[in-house]
């Protein structure tokens, strides 16, 4: 086959073969012939079960559809509905109490609560930024955002704003690191004496929070403090910039920020073929070998970015203290659904991309396992597995990674698994999902967007759903969020694994984030997603205010707050007295988000975009946001809330709006006035064919349309 090479029973794209044999395999100790033989066996062993699981998804959905159709027009009988879900195997019996026994977990996962970044692995610059976001400037976070209540200044340095930044930072220091008989706000001198930090001759109220310093103890260049497991570095510069204007010479407060970062091969990327997958894998390889670099132009000059080194300090006892310079990196593989044309099996069928990711990302991570001071200090590989439906699919992922470990010669359970609680059948069977991988689980989380997309699709035939903002107010969402934490704690994740919460999607609205996102650590979550390194630095403030492990202990003592029956409450519209304007506005909001995202995905291969909403507020959008919007319109179409003619008129109107919002992008291809481009057609497919997409996923449409565009280029 042209452009492919035969490797055992696999036909593999030339570009992927070259990458694996020339870059990924050397240095791992894995022989190429053995790798291909094992990979071929893995593909052909797992494919039948993978297909069976996807068939089960479809069968269950068909049964649920039929149940709702048969009872349309009758009051919803929730008790009968739950009994029916148990009858068809959608709900499984919850088993006895147990605790996970995942071993060799790094502190960033098990014992250090903090912000978590998710970044498209195909963008080397963004990936490096995320890895290096372990440390961030609190001064920059306050000064350069609206975090203090006003927009950042344009032009030169605003001295008044700078003074407010310093004052705000000193308030934080007083809260997290209070001093005997004085305040950081009044401090004129920081120094080390007999192993203790003194501020104007006064010790910290909790001296053990002093971790180390650099420079001379009488006039240190930096001082390291620790609170709730997170470090803060006070940087002194008595001669330059803001430090020269500060009475103690305090030039910056550097926060330990993104403790962990997910390098994403899934929702935030647009990988549809071998060429795309090699870009993703090559960047992951650079991160695991520690040599990834990216050169780009910034401010009229060439900048080269690389991974930051670890940071070394002198401890209170004079011994060396080393702090990690980079976030602990996890890699998100794709789910069980999609295949990829990069590799064909013995029958000429595309292989399942999730199995391909499992084999190749684990192989690449072996480079990290064989070096000191790299990503994992405990010899583990962290894989986040999305879009799994129920315990059977988690068990399948667990067995797949066991087989990968056997082929690559790794100890069983080297690969730790992150279970994303974002599909309804996983939510209502979460305890059994965790049990299915109890020796691998290192992460569970909630994700409102995908979870809502699946909520709509699963109950598509039940009736029209509420408007999106009102879906968030229904009982099911609070129950879902609470149950996730409670079951995670019941299963022993505290101190062993991450319990995570979802993304703050508005990267320009940091004041609102500071006000609202503190609820995540308060809820018992020891990590939560943020959209940028700056957001990570600001969100870190919340983990200094909240002792997450104390919050978890309190929650454990209180018992489970929500149960499956409440999670299964369908957020249908109770009263459908919407005006024409309300309906139009809702569809416009959905359509604008879909089009703004899809046009970049299809035309430019950009999998994650900051898309302005109807009010020109920039929202971070990926396939999850696209899924909920498309499913919502599809639901309203199906139940006659709006008709196809109305929706098409809105799609065309919003395409022109999106064109205007992208007018300054030289790579952008306008959708109006022809409305005949591949990207516009893709967006329409997501809406008008959304009801029949598997689980309401956007990937089948987006991949097909992106491949169509690439073939036409």
The set of catalytic residues is 332, 622
Beta strands in 447-598 (DSSP E): 498-501, 527-530
CA distances from 125 to 119, 303, 399 (A): 10, 11, 34
Tokens 């980079």: give the residue: 326
Contacts for 557 with CB less than 8 Å, ≥ 6 apart: none
- Judged by DSSP in three states, 180 sits in coil
Cβ count near 217 (within 10 Å): 15
CA distances from 42 to 33, 158, 375 (A): 14, 60, 27
CA distances from 484 to 456, 481, 525, 580 (A): 20, 5, 10, 38
Distance CA 542, CA 547 (A): 9
Contacts for 296 with CB less than 8 Å, ≥ 6 apart: 125, 302, 303, 305
Q: Which pairing describes strands 311-314 and 293-298: parallel, antiparallel, or unpaired?
A: unpaired
* Cα dihedral 136, 139, 140, 144 sign: positive
Q: What is the per-residue DSSP string for 192-236? A: EETTEEEETTEEBSSGGGEEEEEEETTEEEEEEEEETTEEEEEEE
Say if CB 192 and CB 313 are below 8 A apart.
no
Residue 445's H or E segment, with its range, is strand 441-446
Distance CA 599, CA 591 (A): 12
Preceding peptide of 673 cis, ω within 30°:
yes
Q: What is the per-residue DSSP string for 335-396? A: -SS-EEEEEE-TTSPEEEHHHHHHHHHHHHHHHHHTSTTSS-SSS-EEEEE----SHHHHHH
Contacts for 174 with CB less than 8 Å, ≥ 6 apart: 183, 184, 185
Angle between helix 580-604 and 678-688 (nearest 10): 130
Distance CA 273, CA 276 (A): 5
For the chain, the 3-state helix, strand and coil shares in percent, each to the nearest 5, are 45, 20, 35
State the Rg of the chain over Cα: 26
Distance CA 512, CA 506 (A): 9
Of 492, 500, 490, 498, the C-alpha closest to 523 is 500
- Judged by DSSP in three states, 295 sits in strand
Of 566, 700, 572, 557, the C-alpha closest to 627 is 700
Distance CA 667, CA 164 (A): 40
Q: Tokens for 243, please give them.
A: 């430090």
Q: Which pairing describes strands 381-385 and 415-421: parallel, antiparallel, or unpaired?
A: parallel
Q: What is the per-residue DSSP string for 388-422? A: --SHHHHHHHHHHHHHHHHHHTPPTT-EEEEEEE-
Q: What is the per-residue DSSP string for 32-91? A: HHHHHHHHHHHHHHHHHHHHHHHHHHHHHHHHHHHHHHHTTTSPP-HHHHHHHHHHTTSS
Residue 672's H or E segment, with its range, is none
Cβ count near 244 (within 10 Å): 11
């Amino acid at each position: 086959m042209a452009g492919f090479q035969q490797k055992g029973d696999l036909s593999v794209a030339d570009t992927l073969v070259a990458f694996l044999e020339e870059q990924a395999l050397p240095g791992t100790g894995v022989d190429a012939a053995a790798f291909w033989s094992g990979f071929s066996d893995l593909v052909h062993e797992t494919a039948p079960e993978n297909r069976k699981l996807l068939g089960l998804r479809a069968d269950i959905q068909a049964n649920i559809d039929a149940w709702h159709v048969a009872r349309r027009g009758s009051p919803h009988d929730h008790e009968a509905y739950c009994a029916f879900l148990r009858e068809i195997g959608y709900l499984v019996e919850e088993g006895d109490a147990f605790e996970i026994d995942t071993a060799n977990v790094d502190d960033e996962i098990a014992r250090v609560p903090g912000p978590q970044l998710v970044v498209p692995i195909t963008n080397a610059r963004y990936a490096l930024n995320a890895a290096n976001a372990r440390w961030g400037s609190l001064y920059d976070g306050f000064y350069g955002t609206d975090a203090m209540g006003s927009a950042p200044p344009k032009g030169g340095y605003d001295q008044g704003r700078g003074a407010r930044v310093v004052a705000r930072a000193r308030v934080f220091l007083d809260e997290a690191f209070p001093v005997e008989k004085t305040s950081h706000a009044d401090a004129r001198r920081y120094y080390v004496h007999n192993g203790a930090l003194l501020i104007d001759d006064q010790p910290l109220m909790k001296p053990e929070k002093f971790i180390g310093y650099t420079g001379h103890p009488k006039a240190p260049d930096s001082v390291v403090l620790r609170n709730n497991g997170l470090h803060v570095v006070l940087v002194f510069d008595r001669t330059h910039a803001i430090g020269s204007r500060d009475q103690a010479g305090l030039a910056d407060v550097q926060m330990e920020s993104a403790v962990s970062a997910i390098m994403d091969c899934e929702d935030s990327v647009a990988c549809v073929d071998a060429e795309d997958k090699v870009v993703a894998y090559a960047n992951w390889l650079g991160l695991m070998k520690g040599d990834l670099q990216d050169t780009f132009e910034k401010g009229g000059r060439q900048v080269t970015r690389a991974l930051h080194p670890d940071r070394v300090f002198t401890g209170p006892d004079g011994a060396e203290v080393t702090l990690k310079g980079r976030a602990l990196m996890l890699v998100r593989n794709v789910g069980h659904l999609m295949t990829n044309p990069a590799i064909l099996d013995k029958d000429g069928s595309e292989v399942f991309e999730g199995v391909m990711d499992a084999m190749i990302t684990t192989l690449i991570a072996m480079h990290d396992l064989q070096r000191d001071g790299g990503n994992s200090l405990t010899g583990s590989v962290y894989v986040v597995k999305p879009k799994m439906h129920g315990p059977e699919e988690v068990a399948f992922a667990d067995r797949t990674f066991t087989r990968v470990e056997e082929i690559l010669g790794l100890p069983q359970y080297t690969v730790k698994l992150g279970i994303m609680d974002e599909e309804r059948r996983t939510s209502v069977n979460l305890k059994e999902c965790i049990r299915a991988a109890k020796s691998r689980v290192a992460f569970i989380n909630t994700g409102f967007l995908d979870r809502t997309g699946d909520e709509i699709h699963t109950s598509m035939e039940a009736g029209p759903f509420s408007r999106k903002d009102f879906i968030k107010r229904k009982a099911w969402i609070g129950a879902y969020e609470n149950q996730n934490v409670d079951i995670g704690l019941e299963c022993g994740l505290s101190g062993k694994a991450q319990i995570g919460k979802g993304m703050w999607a508005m990267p320009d609205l940091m004041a609102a984030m500071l006000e609202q996102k503190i609820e995540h650590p308060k809820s018992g979550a020891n990590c939560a997603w943020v959209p940028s390194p700056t957001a990570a630095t600001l969100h870190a403030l919340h983990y200094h205010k909240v002792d997450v492990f104390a919050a978890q202990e309190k929650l454990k003592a209180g018992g489970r707050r929500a149960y499956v029956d409440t999670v299964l409450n369908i957020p249908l519209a109770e009263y459908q007295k919407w005006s024409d304007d309300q309906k139009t506005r809702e569809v416009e909001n959905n359509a604008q988000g879909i089009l703004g995202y899809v046009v970049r995905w299809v035309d430019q291969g950009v999998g994650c975009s900051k898309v302005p909403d109807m009010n020109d507020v920039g929202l971070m959008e990926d396939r999850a946001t696209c899924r909920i919007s498309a499913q919502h319109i599809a639901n309203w179409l199906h139940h006659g809330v709006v008709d196809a003619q109305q929706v098409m008129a809105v799609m065309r109107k919003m395409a022109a709006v999106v064109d205007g919002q992208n007018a300054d992008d030289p790579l952008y291809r306008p959708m109006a006035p022809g409305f005949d481009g591949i990207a516009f057609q893709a967006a329409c497919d997501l809406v008008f064919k959304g009801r029949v997409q598997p689980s309401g996923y956007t990937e089948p449409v987006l991949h097909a349309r992106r491949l169509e565009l690439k073939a036409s280029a």
